[in-house]
Structure 1
Amino acid sequence: MHAKVVIVGSLNMDLVTRAPRLPRAGETLAGHSFVTVPGGKGANQAVAAARLGASVAMIGCVGDDAYGEQLRAALQAEGIDCQAVASVAGESTGVALIVVDDSSQNAIVIVAGGNGQVTAQVVDGFDSLLSLAEVIICQLEVPMATVEHVLKRGHELGKTVILNPAPASGPLPAHWYGWIDYLIPNESEASALTGLPVDSVAGADAAATALMASGVRKVIVTLGEQGALFATHAHSQHFPAPKVKAVDTTAAGDTFVGGFAAALADGKSEAEAILFGQIAAALSVTRSGAQPSIPTVNEVQGYPS
């Protein structure tokens, strides 16, 4: 398989319960419902890139448990190359324990499990996949040392390197920036990276300018219903969002990243790739769930222009 897009990142099983409200300390509540949903930012982006037309391979780790088997099977069902999704003996698969109340507020506990075992050594065992890639994508749900290793290796190989800095709690190591072709944060992540308020297109432009002053080549700040801001050292451009009725924004950012990468790997221009990713993300928010909400390439191509 020629893997045009390779994702190094997380695989989680989302355990989602709905309850009237969030429980207080020591309290037991009766919930409305419970579902298990394949997730993790890495896996979501892999599914998005695959459904949106790319040949995809995933590098990551799961535990030697039923959730790990289910997550791998879900990726394989999308045609994703999972030879580099390793099972770690004696480790649990990553999980996100999510309680959602009747007003849509949530409380989440994440256990990294196998995601914490994605080491540079694991990645090096599949260097041939990185060599075959045209686009390499990382997020921040695996160890930071591993992300650094992948960014550097991708740059050495001359690949298009994308970092989705999520979750971001503060500035990234300055020496990373020279290895990244496209940094794609959302508003809160752009704010965490720069310390600047990012709640508008102008705020996104200021944050992108600060990031480029730190050495980033190109920045795309995703702004939800406000669209996206694309900035290079030469210019910046605002891309308004398609107008849709949002039902659930889960995985919208992951869908954008996967769609943008798939379009780049297909030879589309940056502007075309951003628009393609935006339409994919817009369609995803009209449906519930993470991976179940991600559209196909035919749906995006059929979207009214």
Structure 2
Amino acid sequence: MSVSVFGSLNLDIALRLPSRAGWGQTLLVDESEQAVGGKGLNQAVASARFGSVTRMAGAVGGDAAGAMLRSALEAEGVDTSHVEVLEGHGSGRATILIEPAGDNMIMVEAAANLKARADKVIGTIDAQTRVLLVQLETDIDQIAALFAHHAAGPVRKILNAAPALPAGSKLFGLSDMLIFNQSEFADYLQLDREPEALEDLLVARRLLTRPNQAVVVTLGAIGSAAVWAERAIFAPAIAAETVIDTSGAGDCFCGVVAACVDQGIGPEEALKLANAAASLSVGRRGAAPSMPLRAEVEALADC
């Protein structure tokens, strides 16, 4: 059993703001941190820490940041043999502005991530691969080619449709599971407000095109839900003791869901465990560094 992740790898520069920022305002930042991140890398780390054999495919530049990103994954036991090093290109970078209450705003420079090729991730798929997890910080046409490839046919294909990009909708029919947060869900479905309860999510059935396809939506402090053509389930959130940094919480959720699918854990339990993992994540600094270990997740979920 294993999870293959095709996605972005970024060097994160986190700036902790002394107050909530406004347009045109200059703030003096007292504290900054540098860490590895990117939706793909974060989700790979979350999957690996939850106990799934995990492979990462993508692209980094031939720079110090690229070496750091690959080394960080390897330290987590993630196979990086399909992460391409592109000489002459810079690695992806993200600047994260973190407000005192933990909310964040993220600006991403894709760089080498947009050069990542689908044929590289095909090499990660073998008889043991059960899940293929992607996001939208790499080239969408490459993702479409990957999902349509015959090698991906028997694999459970999970799309974290983030960030919300109109072109991302072309991947919906190729995916077995779609994962959104509240704002992404409202954007894609052109809703006049973000969903707040399970009843608000039943409109997700408009996105379903074949049997056993599922839509999963995270609802922040409320919890998460999954919708199929014939049924829907809701899992309440597990409140965080403290909220320090919400960056990476959605990636944590996605990585744990992917690991649960890989390990044959049912959807009700998977949502509960992913909620617990995200709750632990927001109480820690950084994106990838905040991903919890499986033992921690299970201990919180069983409380």
TM-score between the two structures when normalised by the length of structure 1: 0.89
Q: After superposition, give the CA deviation of every residue in 1:161-220 in whole Å (9 maximum; x if it has no partner).
A: 10000001336445x333211101010111111101223114642441222269992111
1:195 to 190, 193, 198: 190
Question: Could you list the runs of 5+ residues in structure 1 that have no partner in the other structure?
Answer: none
Q: In structure 1, how many angstroms separate the alpha carbons of the residues matched to 2:70 and 2:132?
A: 20
1:275 to 265, 272, 276: 272
Q: In structure 1, how many angstroms separate the alpha carbons of the residues matched to 2:152 and 2:103?
A: 43
Cα distance 1:102–1:54, how it changes in 2: closer, same or farther (>3 A)?
Answer: closer
Aligned residue runs from structure 1 range 102-113, under 5 A? 108-113=106-111
Q: Which amino acid aligns with 2:76?
A: E
How far does residue 155 in structure 1 lie from its aligned partner after superposition?
Answer: 7.5
Q: In structure 2, how many angstroms separate the alpha carbons of the residues matched to 1:34 and 1:242?
A: 29
Bigger mean CA offset, 145-154 vs 59-68: 145-154
TM-score between the two structures when normalised by the length of structure 2: 0.89
Q: After superposition, give the CA deviation of every residue in 1:237-263 in whole Å (9 maximum; x if it has no partner).
A: 111111223412221111111111111
Q: After superposition, give the CA deviation of every residue in 1:40-81 in whole Å (9 maximum; x if it has no partner).
A: 000000000000010000001011111111111100000000
Bigger mean CA offset, 264-273 vs 230-239: 264-273
Q: In structure 1, how many angstroms separate the alpha carbons of the residues matched to 2:162 and 2:200?
A: 16
- 1:253 matched to 2:256? The reply is no
Q: In structure 1, how many angstroms separate the alpha carbons of the residues matched to 2:202 and 2:274?
A: 23
Does the 8 A contact of 2:13 with 2:95 survive in 1? yes
How far does residue 288 in structure 1 lie from its aligned partner after superposition?
Answer: 2.1
Q: In structure 1, how many angstroms separate the alpha carbons of the residues matched to 2:133 and 2:231?
A: 24
How far does residue 103 in structure 1 lie from its aligned partner after superposition?
Answer: 6.7
Please, what is the CA RMSD of the aligned residues? Answer: 2.4
Q: In structure 2, how many angstroms separate the alpha carbons of the residues matched to 1:87 and 1:139?
A: 20
Question: Could you list the runs of 5+ residues in structure 2 that have no partner in the other structure?
Answer: none
Identity %: 34
Q: In structure 2, how many angstroms separate the alpha carbons of the residues matched to 1:44 and 1:147?
A: 18
Partner of residue 141, structure 2: 145
- 1:63 matched to 2:58? The reply is no
Q: Which amino acid aligns with 2:285?
A: S
Partner of residue 208, structure 1: 204
Aligned residue runs from structure 1 range 16-35, under 5 A? 16-20=14-18, 22=21, 30-35=28-33
